[in-house]
């Protein structure tokens, strides 16, 4: 049930919402990077979209010129971390990466969009971390928080396929637990130095209630976030959208 709902919401094109909030803040890469380290920067991408990933690459390159960077990406699963380690160590060429990651089955969006980001991380000696994982129900012995009004943000991309009213709180919990997993995995791989850049589906960034919120619950680090490109799609008060 929840996996089916997640497939609808997580896979939705951000421009498909019937009513598109446009009260976000249009900004530039320079302004997004106007912070001091140590810090966490969460970036929302349209999965496999070159303009988005190109901006992520530019951000990593600029940050690496200032100090150490850890790049955590949802597109690579946690159980494929050894492949990223080998790529970073120079023991495998980038051409072998899609096959070793089983990219087509594990992520499915064009690898060519991610290749420049991975290559830039390697060339700048940034640490590469895979944080992709299966979405599961919250274990009964775990607690996860959600920000007020989070359901309305989650409901926007569903259009004519809303979650039944009686299941709204459970769905908020489900998505919050998924965001918690991404945030916790990224933070666990970061040594707290320089900047941790987390690149995830923009669904987990819009409105700040997904991964940015969970990072704030799990860490004392300064946290900021941005949507990687203005595609005339959803954004909410407080969101920064790179134009």
- Return the pLDDT at 16: 44
Is residue 86 assigned to a domain? yes
- CATH number of the domain that residue 50 is part of: 3.40.50.11550
Is residue 74 assigned to a domain? yes
Is residue 28 assigned to a domain? no
Ranges of the chain with pLDDT below 50: 8, 13-19
Would you tell me how many other CB atoms lie within 10 Å of the CB of residue 147? 17
Single out the residue of 64, 51, 188, 191 nearest to residue 123, CA to CA.
64
Distance CA 215, CA 41 (A): 10
Whether the CB-CB separation of 201 and 45 falls below 8 Å is answered with: yes
- Return the pLDDT at 7: 52
Whether the CB-CB separation of 197 and 43 falls below 8 Å is answered with: yes
CA 34 to chain centroid, in Å, comes to 20
| Total domains, the chain | 1
State the SS3 of the chain: CHHHHHHHHHCCCCCCCCCCCECCEEECHHHHCCCCCCEEEEEEECCCCHHHHHHHHHHHHHHHCCCCEEEEEEEEEHHHHHHHHHHHHCCCCHHHHHHHHCHHHHCCCCHHHHHHHHHHHHHCCCEEEEEECCCCCCCCCCCCCCCCCHHHHHHHHHCCCCCCHHHHHHHHHHHHHHHHHHHHHHHHCCCCCCEEEEEEEHHHCHHHCCHHHHHHHHCCCEEEEEECCCCCCCECCCCEEEC
- Return the pLDDT at 173: 95
Is residue 194 assigned to a domain? yes
Whether the CB-CB separation of 75 and 109 falls below 8 Å is answered with: yes
Is residue 116 assigned to a domain? yes
What predicted TM-score, i.e. pTM, was given to this entire model?
Answer: 0.91
Is residue 181 assigned to a domain? yes
Is residue 27 assigned to a domain? no
Give the model confidence (pLDDT) of 199-213 as tens digits. 999 999 999 999 999
Instruction: State which residues form the domain around 164.
Output: 2-6+35-242
Is residue 54 assigned to a domain? yes
């Amino acid at each position: 049930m929840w996996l089916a709902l997640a497939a609808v919401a997580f896979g939705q094109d951000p421009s498909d919402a019937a009513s598109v909030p446009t009260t976000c803040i249009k900004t530039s890469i320079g302004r997004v990077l106007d912070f001091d380290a140590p810090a966490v920067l969460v970036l929302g991408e349209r999965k496999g979209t070159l303009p988005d990933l190109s901006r992520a690459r530019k951000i990593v390159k600029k940050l690496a010129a200032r100090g150490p960077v850890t790049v955590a990406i949802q597109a690579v699963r946690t159980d494929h971390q050894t492949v990223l380690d080998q790529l970073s160590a120079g023991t495998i060429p980038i051409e072998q990466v899609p096959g070793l990651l089983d990219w087509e089955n594990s992520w499915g969006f064009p690898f060519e969009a991610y290749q420049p980001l991975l290559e830039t991380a390697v060339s700048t000696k940034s640490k590469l971390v895979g944080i992709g994982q299966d979405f599961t129900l919250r274990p009964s012995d775990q607690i996860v928080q959600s920000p007020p009004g989070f359901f309305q943000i989650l409901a926007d991309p569903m259009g004519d396929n809303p979650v039944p009213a009686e299941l709204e709180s459970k769905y908020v919990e489900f998505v919050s637990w998924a965001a918690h997993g991404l945030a916790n995995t990224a933070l666990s791989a970061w040594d707290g130095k320089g900047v941790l850049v987390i690149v995830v589906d923009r669904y987990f960034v819009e409105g700040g209630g997904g991964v940015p919120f969970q990072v704030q619950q799990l860490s004392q680090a300064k946290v900021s976030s941005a949507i990687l490109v203005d595609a005339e799609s959803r954004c909410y008060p407080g969101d920064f959208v790179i134009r």
